Amino acid sequence: MADVKVDLAGRSYQVRVDRGLIADFANQCGDLLRKKRVPIVTDANVRAAWGDALEASLLAAGKEPRWLVHEAGESAKSWDGLSRTVEWLLAEEVERGDHIVALGGGVIGDLTGFAASMLKRGCSFIQVPTTLLAQVDSSVGGKTAINVAAGKNLVGAFHQPSLVLADTNALSTLSPREMRCGFAEVIKYGILGDREFFEWCESNVAGILSHLPRTLEYAVTTSVQAKARIVAQDERETSGARALLNLGHTFGHALEAETGYSDRLLHGEAVAIGMALAARYSVRRGLMDQREAERIATAIGISDLRTDIWRLEGTCTGEQLVAHMLHDKKMDAGTLPFILLRGIGEAFVDNEVDLADVAEFLNEELTAD
Ligand code: GLY
């Protein structure tokens, strides 16, 4: 069991990583659940897998669980999903001091957190992330959002949860593909700032993907510690520290946009390719030794995540991928910050990347095999 503090003065909170937290939910929350009724937002898949365990814990504590169950998938993270959530919370007479529970992956966490941020000008919420990706990234740090016609995550708010319960037992129902997507975000922390953890990931990828309990707990805890440190330094991504978490995301978002944000390429898969591209682009710029980039691609590849884009050859150009990047919400006064590498564990923000050079690099990547 590990307790990681996200240190944000008056908005500080704990991220607890352990097995069995969902079954012990009511005890874990203690006084945060101040009323009999407990509003829980989830999706149909998570309700079926983990809803009964959470419900049993609440009933045993004399609580009355109230459920809003969205359809599983990205479609819930929309204006429709948001208005359905907010209207339901109002009908449930949720008050500011109450805690809304988000039980699910990144979609449910982002949607519920955003609904909580605006309901009655800001209600409290508890994150119970049930995917590896949500446990190591999206449930920690207070980024909440929905997708709109102009792009993903373009409407949202920074709104910190009061507690995050990362139950590693919940990962047992994930598909190998979902586990790989989470692994991309785990190894990201090593690549961006912790060489030792990168090396641990190289040696332990099989244990993570096969759900070895202690290995998984160490991977989640170390990732959460890294994220908590960064968020404590730069809660609203203004100083550059938090931007490092976007390693692989600028290239990755372009690939997700090009493949229509579909099952063809999931977010973690896009980030995995994006990190390998950022590493090779760093080599091209003379910032990093080629062997480091090869080592990063090999470590990611052991998990069966792809690290190349040549399969997109003939379907798009480097210029088209760069055009997607221009819609990135991180664009600021005409420049797009790129997270590049001087070595494994040494990421930095480069605000002066020449996008024509990036397009040329991507054209070369598209034709390499
Ligand atoms: N997922 C990146 C961040 O939370 O800043």
| Annotation marks residue 196 as catalytic | no
Let me know: does 49 contact 105? Beta carbons within 8 Å. Answer: no
Look at residue 203 in the predicted model and tell me its pLDDT. Answer: 98
Say whether pLDDT at 24 is over 90.
Answer: yes
243 lines ligand 1 (CB under 6 A): no
What's the number of CA atoms in the CB half-sphere (13 Å) around residue 356?
0
Ligand 1 pocket: which of 6, 15, 107, 138 to mutate (most atoms within 8 A of CB): 138
Q: Catalytic residue at 327?
A: no
The reply to whether 176-366 shares the fold of 2-173 is: no
pLDDT digits (tens, 9 = 90+) for 313-368: 788 999 999 999 988 777 776 788 999 999 999 999 999 999 999 999 999 999 98
For this structure, is 87 an active site residue? no
Q: What is the pLDDT of residue 331?
A: 72
Average pLDDT value for the chain: 96
Tens digit of pLDDT for each residue in 241-270? 999 999 999 999 999 999 988 889 999 999
Q: Is 293 helix (H, G, I), strand (E, B) or coil?
A: helix
Q: What's the CA-to-centroid distance between 141 and ligand 1, angstroms? A: 7
Q: Ligand 1 pocket: which of 245, 247, 329, 339 to mutate (most atoms <8 Å of CB)?
A: 245
Among 15, 186, 239, 246, say which to mutate for ligand 1: greatest number of ligand atoms within 8 Å of CB: 246
- Please work out whether the CB of residue 143 comes within 6 Å of at least one atom of ligand 1: yes
Predicted pLDDT at 327 = 80
C-alpha 325 – ligand 1 centre gap (Å): 17
CA atoms within a 13 Å half-sphere pointing along the CA-CB vector of 190: 24
Over residues 111-144, the pLDDT tens digits come to 999 999 999 999 999 999 999 999 999 999 999 9
Which of 227, 258, 280, 365 is the catalytic position?
Answer: 227
What homologous superfamily is domain 176-366 in, according to CATH? Dehydroquinate synthase-like - alpha domain (1.20.1090.10)
Phi, psi of 241 (to 5 degrees): -65, -50
Respond yes or no: is residue 237 known to be catalytic.
yes
Q: Give yes or no: 249 in active site.
A: yes
Cα-based angle 345, 269, 110 (whole degrees, multiple of 5):
90
Cα–Cα distance measured from residue 250 to residue 336, given in angstroms and rounded to the nearest whole number: 9
How far is 183 from 236, CA to CA, in rounded Å? 25
CA distance 359 to 357: 5
Q: Which tens digits make up the pLDDT trace of 60-109?
A: 999 999 999 999 999 999 999 999 999 999 999 999 999 999 999 999 99
| Position 5 pLDDT exceeds 80 | yes
State percent of the chain over pLDDT 70.
Answer: 99
Q: Which atom of ligand 1 is nearest to the CA of 242?
A: 5
- Look-up: residue for tokens 């980039």? 293
Using one digit for the tens of pLDDT, what is the confidence trace for 268-280? Answer: 999 999 999 999 9
Q: Is 211 a catalytic residue?
A: no
Q: Does the annotation count 92 as an active-site position? A: no
Distance from Cα 352 to the centre of ligand 1, integer Å: 22
Please name the CATH architecture into which domain 2-173 falls.
Answer: 3-Layer(aba) Sandwich (3.40)
27 is catalytic: no
**Is the minimum distance from the CB of 249 to ligand 1 under 6 angstroms?**
no
Catalytic residue check, 99: no
Cβ(271) to ligand 1 under 6 A?
no
| Nearest residue (CA) to ligand 1, atom 2 | 245
Pick the catalytic residue: 188, 242, 280, 324?
242
The yes-or-no verdict on residue 156 having pLDDT over 80 is: yes
Q: How far apart are CA 288 and CA 322, in angstroms?
A: 22
Rounded Cα gap, residues 243 and 268, in angstroms: 17
Q: Is 324 a catalytic residue?
A: no
Instruction: Parse the chain into domains and list their residue ranges.
Output: 2-173, 176-366
> One of 16, 63, 188, 246 is an active-site residue; which one?
246
Q: How far apart are CA 211 and CA 209, in angstroms?
A: 5
What is the percent of the chain where pLDDT is above 90?
92
Mutation probe of ligand 1 site: the residue of 6, 114, 242, 244 with most atoms within 8 A of C-beta: 242
State the Cα–Cα distance between residues 63 and 51, nearest whole angstrom. 14
pTM: 0.96
Look at ligand 1, atom 3, and give the residue with the nearest C-alpha: 245
